[in-house]
Chains A and B, each alone.
Chain A
Amino acid sequence: MPADTTPTTDPLAGVANTPGVKKPDAILVGSSITRQFGGLKAVDVEHVEIQRGVITALIGPNGAGKTTLFNLLTGFDAPDTGEWSFNGQSLQKVPAYKVARRGMVRTFQLTKVLSRLTVIENMRLGATGQRGERFWSAPFRALWSGQEDSITERADELLARFKLDAKREDFAGSLSGGQRKLLEMARSLMVDPELIMLDEPMAGVNPALKQSLLGHVKSLRDEGRTVLFVEHDMDMVRDISDWVIVMAQGKIVAEGTPDQVMSDQAVIDAYLGAHHDTDITELDETELEQATEAELDQEA
């Protein structure tokens, strides 16, 4: 577990708001990452750095390449060109499971819960270094039951934190869409990641729960973890992120603090097109939300 540090002074103070800017203490660094699908360059990132110990939001219109970039960085997809490193160690050609073991864990935009396992079993799976997961020690309960108990204890704490404790024994497949998002996030925390990458964690979560979820994400930072999340919900972005990276058509078009970014002309262009003269902060939010939801529905 990373050391408990509460940022007293803003670590990103003085960082220029230019795309691809260097960060004082980057946990994740990527250069010239490209990924082509047929004739479409889905990701074309010249340089990107993610500051350690803060919450970074990755925003951009649908199809900007955010999920694809997540896939590339975490080893779920291979880029055509580019190199990237986590904690100074290169992640090129490192398979997805090893990326996760190094402390960089992602969630999925389309949630991946293990339907025919119970919620608690989903959670237990997340723990790393389990002795009982090795074939030769698996048949002998005495070898792993102690570890299993402590894993279960940790899982129960997380379930309580995410208000899923009542669902403990239910099949994950019986959870609602929002509950699945919560379970996936809680499960990824079982890995005890240094960097957690959330792909649209708020999609489909009700407003009341959203508030507490925002609190959880902030508490992750307070625990010393780094958070990188993709989100279309501008409220959330403004509320909790320390830094915002904007993608459009595969490229990083803007970076900066939430306030800086939301008044940036490039962002407004990327996001709004037609509403050229509106400040994004003044944009009718329900309209924006409806648009995102409609698109999400389409995807589902």
Chain B
Amino acid sequence: MDFGSILSAALSSALGPQAIVFALAAIGLNIHFGYTGLLNFGQAGFMAVGAYGLAVTVVTYDQSFWLGVVVALVAPVVLALVLGVPTLRLRADYLAIATIATAEILRLVFGAVETREVFGGSNGLTGFAKTFQDLNPYSGPLDLGIIRFRPDDLWSLTVGWILVALGCLFVWLLMRSPWGRVLRSIREDEDAVRSLGKNVFAYKMQALILGGVFGGLAGLFFAVKQASVVPSDYSTNITFYAYTALLIGGAARVLGPVVGAMIFWFLMAGIGAFFSQATAGSDPLIPTWAMSDIQASLVRLILVGLGLMLLMIYRPQGIFGDRKELAIDAR
């Protein structure tokens, strides 16, 4: 058992591109769910339109990378409008149903044979990230002893964490303002906010758009980082991983989604590495009759689920949350 390599796997995931993607997606969900109380179960859809917005613009329509980036940020706005206009006047659950269904529809459309000319079918699209890779200023790898990042990863990480930091700063600025106060009030009681003369629909729409753009940014970063988009990357469990990250860190806290995403990937990668080592080799630590190496790759999901349950029982407010606030019943 090599604990050094387990720790290394866990740390490089917690600091790596995966954590950035989920931090950005969870920042969006924090605006939706944590601050405004909107149930968006289709963050994967927002990520997908961000990623495909770039890829389709560059690969299919042969436009510049930077136009692709603009499209990737406009697409989630359009998606938010399409989803929000019919549902945001209705009860909260309608948005949940519409978003989860739309995310699935998008994934299926992007992967369909019929639309292969545009979206590349189940193989997706590649070859749109050259502009980004060419900008890489790093020539050598970063070696921190226990973890090591290749130059191209290092470049992604630099851009990604800067995006996360700017995103957090922006959310912090917004949420301490009267605008943020209206969102938090809508989360508590829409009708009360209405009775005070605020256009609740407009604020919910703004929140849905803003959070959706963060989702699009997550998808954009994901696409650029791996230089490809594949429809299967945008399945619904992505949304629920992002929710998990948000709840670990603590909803309605600026840094909650970021720290949550780091912890989530630390555990996912760490537990994964542990079990793959424990079941590997001719004389594994865990005997094969107890667990095969194929089963081992799934055990981490079970354990993370168990951990989430324990968290909800013993620390339902997440890492940063305020227990006192959660204890208040929303009478």
Binds B, one of A118-126, A219-227, A254-262: A118-126
- Which residues of A lie under 8 Å from residue B188 when comparing CB positions? 113-117
- Interface size in chain B (residues, C-beta < 8 A): 32
Binds B, one of A24-32, A50-58, A96-104: A96-104
Output the least CB separation between A60 and chain B (Å). 22
Output the least CB separation between B62 and chain A (Å). 34
A232 on interface, CB distance cutoff 8 Å: no
**Seed contacts A76-B195, A114-B188, A139-B173; 4 additional CB < 8 Å A-B pairs:** A108-B192, A115-B188, A130-B178, A187-B196
Output the least CB separation between B171 and chain A (Å). 10
A112 on interface, CB distance cutoff 8 Å: yes
Given A173-B331, A174-B328, A126:B196 Cβ within 8 A:
yes
A97 and B198 form a contact (CB under 8 A): yes
**Which residue of A is nearest B190, CB measured?**
A112
B178 and A133 form a contact (CB under 8 A): yes
- Point out the residue from B178, B187, B198, B329 that lies within 8 Å of A148, measured CB to CB: B178
Output the least CB separation between B264 and chain A (Å). 25
- Point out the residue from B177, B196, B329 that lies within 8 Å of A141, measured CB to CB: B177
Given A97-B200, A116-B325, A188-B196, A76:B330 Cβ within 8 A:
no
Output the least CB separation between B51 and chain A (Å). 26
B288 on interface, CB distance cutoff 8 Å: no
Cβ contacts B302-331/A at 8 Å (1 or 0 each): 000000000000000000000011001111
B330 and A173 form a contact (CB under 8 A): yes
B191 and A112 form a contact (CB under 8 A): yes
- Point out the residue from B181, B189, B192, B194 that lies within 8 Å of A121, measured CB to CB: B181
A125→B177 CA distance, assembly (Å): 11
B195 and A108 form a contact (CB under 8 A): yes
A39→B196 CA distance, assembly (Å): 33
- Point out the residue from A115, A132, A188 that lies within 8 Å of B177, measured CB to CB: A132
B189 and A112 form a contact (CB under 8 A): yes
B174, B185, B206, B331: residue with the most chain A Cβ atoms closer than 10 Å = B331
- Which residues of B lie under 8 Å from residue A133 when comparing CB positions? 177-179, 181-182, 198
B140 on interface, CB distance cutoff 8 Å: no
- Point out the residue from A105, A108, A124 that lies within 8 Å of B178, measured CB to CB: A124
- Some 11 contacts from A to B, beta carbons below 8 A apart, are A96-B194, A100-B195, A107-B195, A112-B189, A114-B184, A115-B188, A116-B184, A116-B325, A133-B182, A138-B178, A173-B329
B191 and A100 form a contact (CB under 8 A): no
A115→B188 CA distance, assembly (Å): 6
Cβ contacts A158-183/B at 8 Å (1 or 0 each): 00000000000001011000000000
Output the least CB separation between A185 and chain B (Å). 12
Q: List residues of A whose CB falls within 8 A of some B CB.
A: 74, 76, 95-98, 100-101, 105-108, 112-117, 121-122, 124-126, 128, 130-135, 138-141, 144, 148, 171, 173-174, 184, 187-188, 190-191
Cβ contacts B217-247/A at 8 Å (1 or 0 each): 0000000000000000000000000000000
**Which residue of A is nearest B179, CB measured?**
A138
**Which residue of B is nearest A187, CB measured?**
B196
**Which residue of B is nearest A100, CB measured?**
B197
- Point out the residue from A115, A122, A138 that lies within 8 Å of B174, measured CB to CB: A138
B170 on interface, CB distance cutoff 8 Å: yes
- Which residues of A lie under 8 Å from residue B185 when comparing CB positions? 114, 117, 122, 125
- Which residues of B lie under 8 Å from residue A105 when comparing CB positions? 195-197
**Which residue of A is nearest B193, CB measured?**
A125
- Which residues of A lie under 8 Å from residue B63 when comparing CB positions? none
Given A114-B189, A138-B179, A144-B177, A74:B330 Cβ within 8 A:
no
- Which residues of B lie under 8 Å from residue A187 when comparing CB positions? 196
- Which residues of B lie under 8 Å from residue A117 when comparing CB positions? 181, 184-185, 188
B199 on interface, CB distance cutoff 8 Å: yes
Given A116-B328, A139-B173, A128:B197 Cβ within 8 A:
yes
B180 on interface, CB distance cutoff 8 Å: yes
- Which residues of A lie under 8 Å from residue B197 when comparing CB positions? 97-98, 100-101, 105, 128, 191
